[in-house]
Amino acid sequence: MSKFVHLHLHTEYSLLDGACRINDLVKKAKQLGMPAIAITDHGNMHGYVDFYKACKAADIKPIIGCEVYVAPGSRFIKKSRKKNDNSETYGGPAHLVLLAENNTGYKNIMKLCSLGYTEGFYYKPRVDHEILEKYSEGIIVLSACLGGEIPRALMSKKYDEAKKVALWYQNVFGKNNYFLEIQDHGIAAQKDVNEGLYKLSVETGIPLVATNDTHYIEKEDSLFHDLLLCIQTKRSIFEPSRDENPSGRMKFPSDEFWFKDYDDMAKLFPNHLEALDITEKIAERCNVEIEFGNYHLPKFPCPEGYNEQTYLRQLVNEGLKQRYPEITQEVLDRVETEFAVIEKKGFSGYFLIVWDFINWSRNNGIRVGPGRGSVAGSIIAFALGIMEIDPLKYNTLFERFLDFNRPDPPDIDVDFLDNRRDEVIEYVKEKYGADRVAQIATFGTFGAKGSVKDVARYLLPKEDKMNLVMGDKIAELIPENPKITLQKALEESPDLMALYKSDPQVRKIYDLARKIEGLARHSSVHAAAVVIAPETVTNYAPVLVKNGIVSTQLSKNPVESLGLLKMDFLGLRTLTIISDTLENIKMDTGEDLDIDAIPLDDRKSYEMLGEGDTSR
């Protein structure tokens, strides 16, 4: 078994920089016999749940971490930098690697990653010494790469400053929780920095730890990684790097940032093998246990004298009187059947929460859709006015919506006017607390055609207009199927296969496109999904801010697996058109038309549709 563990490692969620797919990464670690690996993406925790699950499935210990950006002063100070200066030498944020030693450290890293966005964001999410000290418990810290505070000070010939900072971190995080990180990628500056780190270690007693700042899995993947950087910065791969020209493009200075094994690392540090061995000791200390399947539901504020179960029953009884002129035994039996499941699974509060924001919307003139999906099988939802379909009349099944034997929580999608959806979300924030409500992230990935076009655009010289023509030419031969893969496209398109075999340049573009296909390209905010938590969201998941909207750093599936309540607030243009139409009818005729009263089998409506008369 390997005595070396990668503690500084970037997955594809270091967007357009990390080139390691999580499953491939775990597979490689397994092949090398590594007992553990860490995830330390740049400034975020987008991938940690998928990483954790993949490691556990492979019997490898997952180490949860992040490479945060540390502001040069206060996170609240946001000074301008020179235009187009993306370097780390302008006094911008420094790098720092945080690893969760235990669940307290895991929670604290989530807090720090969140605050980097909500309070410190300036080009990048930034923390500062104040909050690092506040949330220091349970975290093991590595001094990071050449972009770290201490390496920067050493490169600037400020040894005393480097020593002062190192001792500060040791004092804040604990004598056994701070390590000086040595790396060797064949970069001249690293040689001098490492000498300074060796000296610091001797003088302060702070131990050394060897890492490789891994950004891709195999050495030959360096071109693939370089291409990702070109896509990120919109620069041709043929443009000079910053080492060659100050205005040049971002490019790693060597091809040594790959997933090395113990022997590879031992060759780099033959006189400091203890720095390799200590990686395994750190890994042994890192023990985070994440629970899945336990639901964290907010408590609904019930009127005095009620709890969630009794209040829901009260509302349902009142609703049944409105829905059914005569409450038959069939109605009562159906209600009790549903209550048996809802109450046993602890979801009474869920129904109250949905009922409440729907009720508020209607009371405030915000039209709500009639309901969609499997909730049409619930008579309780019908009684509450959550949806408008009578499950007895249409013989819809409650078991499709909620069942004793399925672990899934209820999933009710609610349609609102697209121009007033945000008002409903604001109401929910006011009721439960803004810090307990967040929207959910989603990730755009490289599709088949997009991969080819991006590779062609940046793989050829910028002035060569043939790059765009070449990308379009290849993309046009890919069948029109949004789910098609590049491999499947080759199999289905004889013309594409012929071009691939006959043209070496096409083959190079296509093979590199297959490398990036499916990787996360960018993050955005899900169009509908919203989380409501019983406490501040960052106690359960990290958050970010994008275009002024707070969302989780995780996408929908990881959020749900952590047990957070996810609801879909859909803004529907069709509802807005219907609402505007009803307003116009009232203005023109004075008639206050109830669209829900129009029967679904209205003969005249179908005659109009049958004649193609849809323009009235």
Q: Counting Cβ atoms within 10 Å, is residue 150 exposed (0-12), middle (13-18) or buried (19+)?
A: buried
Tell me the pLDDT tens digit for each residue of 86-95. Answer: 444 446 899 9
Tell me: do 438 and 488 sit in the same domain: no
458 in a structural domain: yes
Confidence of residue 594 (pLDDT cuts 50, 70, 90): confident
Query: 358-367, 370-379, 467-476, 494-503: which range is least confident on average?
Result: 467-476
**Residue 85 predicted with pLDDT over 50:** no
CATH number at residue 504: 1.10.10.1600
Average pLDDT over residues 555-577: 93
Q: Are strands 208-210 and 178-182 parallel, antiparallel or unpaired?
A: parallel
Domain range for 58: 22-77+93-218+258-285
**Residue 549 predicted with pLDDT over 60:** yes
| Global pTM value | 0.92
CATH number at residue 173: 3.20.20.140
Domain count, the chain: 3
At residue 596, the pLDDT reads 78
Average pLDDT over residues 519-535: 95
Share of the chain above pLDDT 90, in %: 83
227 in a structural domain: no
**Residue 314 predicted with pLDDT over 60:** yes
239 in a structural domain: no
Tell me: do 312 and 203 sit in the same domain: no
d(CA 280, CA 37): 10
- Phi, psi dihedrals of residue 398, rounded to the nearest 5°: -65, -35
At residue 500, the pLDDT reads 95
**CA geometry: angle at 474 spanning 472 and 477, to 5°?**
105
At residue 616, the pLDDT reads 60
540 in a structural domain: yes
Tell me: do 35 and 143 sit in the same domain: yes
Tell me: do 172 and 266 sit in the same domain: yes
Nearest Cα neighbor of 473 from 482, 465, 463, 481 is: 465
At residue 83, the pLDDT reads 44
* C-alpha distances out from residue 469 to 225, 394, 465, 466, 502, Å: 24, 55, 7, 5, 17
490 in a structural domain: yes
Average pLDDT over residues 216-238: 95
Tell me: do 31 and 118 sit in the same domain: yes
Tell me the pLDDT tens digit for each residue of 380-429. Answer: 999 999 999 999 999 999 999 999 888 888 889 999 999 999 999 999 99
Q: Is the backbone of residue 84 left (phi > 0), alpha (psi -120 to 50) or beta?
A: left
At residue 601, the pLDDT reads 84
Tell me: do 322 and 209 sit in the same domain: no
Tell me: do 41 and 189 sit in the same domain: yes
Confidence of residue 602 (pLDDT cuts 50, 70, 90): confident
At residue 613, the pLDDT reads 82
Nearest Cα neighbor of 438 from 525, 557, 563 is: 525
Tell me: do 150 and 137 sit in the same domain: yes
At residue 466, the pLDDT reads 66
d(CA 290, CA 102): 10
Six token digits for residue 59: 């019997």
Average pLDDT over residues 169-186: 98
Tell me the pLDDT tens digit for each residue of 17-75. Answer: 999 999 999 999 999 999 999 999 999 999 999 999 999 999 999 999 999 999 999 99
Confidence of residue 1 (pLDDT cuts 50, 70, 90): low
**Residue 80 predicted with pLDDT over 70:** no
Average pLDDT along the chain = 94
597 in a structural domain: no
Tell me: do 410 and 473 sit in the same domain: no
455 in a structural domain: yes
468 in a structural domain: yes
Tell me: do 27 and 115 sit in the same domain: yes
Tell me: do 171 and 152 sit in the same domain: yes
CATH number at residue 318: 3.30.1900.20
**Residue 461 predicted with pLDDT over 80:** no
Beta bridge partners of 572: 417
At residue 409, the pLDDT reads 85
Please say which residue of 469, 491, 518 terminates a domain: 518
Share of the chain above pLDDT 70, in %: 96
Tell me: do 400 and 545 sit in the same domain: yes
Alpha helices in 174-303 (DSSP H): 188-204, 222-233, 262-268, 274-285
